[in-house]
């Protein structure tokens, strides 16, 4: 691409295409990706990505919580030059946001985890690869050595050593330990839509495939033709269940047995940076730090675990206060540049997004994810100007008032 075809987002290293490919031009906001993905994906698959649990109170509450704050801009601060660069865990990123771990990405996007990792790398942001994924972690680490790996571990020393050892051998430098899944969420919406892991072949599933030919040929059959039937590759040291099967059961056992001794064990064997994700109480944040966590992930899993759980934004300031110098990474419900800046104003060092990047990968592959990153980066940049911010280190709670 020639220089004339590119434009730089202020404060970024990477040059982004001046305009997205024509098929993405109608996508102006992150929510537009969701509407497009709903058309593109079979119902059961869209239900998996979009859904929360039970009555979706937690999922909706995450968005509603952002409504509780309004900005107080500052004026005449000479904001012609702005930078979003943010240092997290010893690395400088171009933007204060990254891609949260999202499971089975290769089911809703062709080579999903790789696409997300490539787009993140090209845009100077972090991407955490989910442990519930259908592409081998080694393949992602080989292409994107700066990607993070997120593990779901069982409360069993042997399997912990296997998966953590495998992530280290693959070359990952940052491990995210997700701790808010002691039991599977009650995803009634998935059951109603016909989603399960593995997917069970049925006439209605076949019809969903046929009536969504873009996904059927562009994602699912293309994957099978080129790479064989996808399997869960990274929950353990060994390969797990296939994504489509009439009889195989997935092993979710023993996650409920996980306790602080396992975190101690992991800290002992994992030499890289360690993020504990799914913290909602300041005492747990303190304890995770005492156990050697390098960052705390304040998250309710996008409202996909416990319904009626508190919104992470509501507890963010208390957790930030408990963490001292240890950075807090916020996720759950971010959709706009203003959301990013609210979370940062309330003390988060960094934020992550799940669903929007999943939808972007579905409908647009790597270009789609890059477009999503560019949309959010441009919003953050414009909002910074209007708030009177040259640099994100200048943001504080003083820029917010309760609505
Ligand atoms: C489709 C999907 C799959 C997810 N899979 C995982 C996962 O494998 N591991 C994990 O720690 N979190 C997982 N999450 C939670 C995300 O990491 C993140 O906490 C959440 O998506 C943030 O909320 P948002 O979607 O509103 O941005 C998943 C979320 C979604 C939407």
- Reported as a single tens digit per residue, the pLDDT across 339-395 is 999 999 999 999 999 999 999 999 999 999 999 999 999 999 999 999 999 999 999
Atom 11, ligand 1: residue with shortest CA distance: 178
Name the band, by pLDDT with cuts 50, 70 and 90, for residue 254: confident
Nearest CA to ligand 1 atom 28: 102
Instruction: Please give the pLDDT value at position 38.
Output: 98
Q: Where are the domains of the chain?
A: 24-188+250-402
Nearest 5°: phi and psi at 199?
A: -65, 140
Q: What pLDDT, on the 0 to 100 scale, is given for residue 4?
A: 36
Residue pLDDT, tens place only, 176-210: 999 999 999 999 999 999 999 999 999 999 999 99
Q: Who lines ligand 1 at CB under 6 A?
A: 49, 62, 100-103, 130, 132, 150, 178, 277, 299, 301-302, 304, 331-334, 353-355, 358
The pLDDT of 317-346, averaged and rounded, is: 98
Question: Separation of 180 CA from ligand 1 center, angstroms?
Answer: 11
The H or E element spanning position 151 is strand 148-151
Distance CA 288, CA 284 (A): 6
Give distance in angstroms: CA of 304 to centre of ligand 1.
8
Mean pLDDT to the nearest integer, 227-252: 92
Does residue 9 surpass a pLDDT of 90? no
Residue 345 has a pLDDT of 99
Centre of ligand 1 from the C-alpha of residue 51, in Å? 10
pLDDT band with cut points at 50, 70 and 90 for residue 6: very low
Residue closest by Cα to atom 26 of ligand 1: 333
pTM of this structure: 0.96
Q: Is the pLDDT of residue 20 over 80?
A: yes
How far apart CA 232 and CA 229 sit, in angstroms, is 10
Q: Which atom of ligand 1 is nearest to the CA of 59?
A: 26
Q: Which is the closest atom of ligand 1 to the Cα of 63?
A: 26
Q: Which one is the CATH code of 24-188+250-402: 3.40.50.150, 1.10.10.10, 3.20.20.70, 3.40.50.920?
A: 3.20.20.70
What atom of ligand 1 comes closest to residue 358's alpha carbon? Answer: 1
- How much is the mean pLDDT over the chain? 95
pLDDT score of 2: 37
| CA distance to 105, 148, 197, 400, per residue, from 230 (Å) | 11, 21, 12, 46
* 352 vs 238, higher pLDDT: 352
Q: Indicate which residue's Cα is closest to atom 10 of ligand 1.
A: 101
Residue recorded with tokens 């519930």: 132
- Judge whether residue 69 has pLDDT over 70: yes
Cα 303 to ligand 1 centre (Å) = 9
Q: Whole-angstrom Cα distance, residue 380 to residue 373?
A: 11
Active site residues: 301
How far apart are the C-alpha atoms of 110 and 118, rounded to whole Å?
13
DSSP-derived 3-state class of residue 327 = coil
pLDDT in tens, 132-151: 999 999 999 999 999 999 99
Q: Would you state the structure tokens that stand for residue 121, as one six-digit string?
A: 């790398």
Q: Atom 6 (ligand 1): residue with closest C-alpha? A: 102
pLDDT confidence of residue 18: 56
Residue where the block lists tokens 């042997």: 158
User: 226 is written with which tokens?
Assistant: 């080129």
């Amino acid at each position: 691409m020639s220089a004339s075809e590119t434009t730089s987002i202020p404060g970024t290293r990477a040059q982004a295409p001046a305009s997205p490919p024509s098929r993405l031009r109608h996508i102006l906001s992150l929510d537009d990706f969701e509407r497009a993905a709903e058309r593109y994906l079979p119902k059961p698959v869209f239900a998996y990505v979009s859904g929360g649990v039970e009555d979706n109170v937690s999922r909706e509450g995450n968005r509603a919580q952002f409504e509780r704050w309004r900005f107080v801009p500052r004026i005449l601060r000479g904001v012609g030059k702005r930078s979003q660069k943010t240092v997290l865990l010893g690395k400088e990123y171009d933007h204060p946001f990254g891609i949260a771990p999202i499971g089975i990405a290769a089911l809703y996007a062709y080579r999903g985890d790789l696409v997300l990792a490539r787009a993140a790398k090209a845009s100077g942001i972090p991407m955490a690869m989910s442990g519930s994924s259908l592409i081998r972690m080694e393949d992602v680490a080989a292409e994107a050595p700066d990607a993070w790996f997120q593990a779901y571990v069982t409360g069993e020393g042997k399997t912990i050593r296997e998966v953590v050892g495998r992530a280290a051998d693959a070359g990952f430098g940052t491990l995210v330990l997700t701790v808010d899944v002691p039991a599977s969420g009650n995803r009634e919406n998935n059951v109603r839509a016909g989603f399960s892991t593995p997917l069970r072949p049925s006439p209605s599933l076949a019809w969903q495939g046929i009536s969504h030919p873009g996904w059927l040929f562009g994602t699912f059959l293309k994957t099978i033709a080129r790479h064989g039937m996808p399997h869960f590759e990274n929950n353990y040291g060994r390969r797990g269940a296939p994504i489509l099967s009439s009889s195989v059961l997935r092993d979710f056992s023993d996650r409920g047995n996980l306790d602080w001794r396992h975190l101690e064990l992991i800290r002992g064997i994992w030499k890289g940076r360690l993020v504990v994700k799914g913290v909602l109480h300041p005492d747990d944040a303190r304890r995770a730090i005492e156990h050697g966590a390098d960052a705390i992930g304040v998250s309710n899993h996008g409202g996909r675990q416990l319904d009626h759980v508190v919104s992470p934004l509501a507890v963010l300031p208390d957790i930030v206060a408990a963490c001292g110098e240890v950075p807090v990474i916020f996720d759950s419900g971010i959709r706009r540049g203003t959301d990013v800046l609210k979370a940062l104003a309330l003390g988060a060092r960094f934020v992550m997004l799940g669903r929007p990047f999943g939808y972007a990968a579905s409908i647009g592959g790597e270009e789609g994810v890059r477009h999503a990153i560019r949309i959010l980066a441009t919003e953050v940049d414009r909002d910074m100007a209007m708030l009177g911010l040259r640099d994100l280190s200048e943001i504080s709670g003083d820029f917010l008032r309760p609505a």
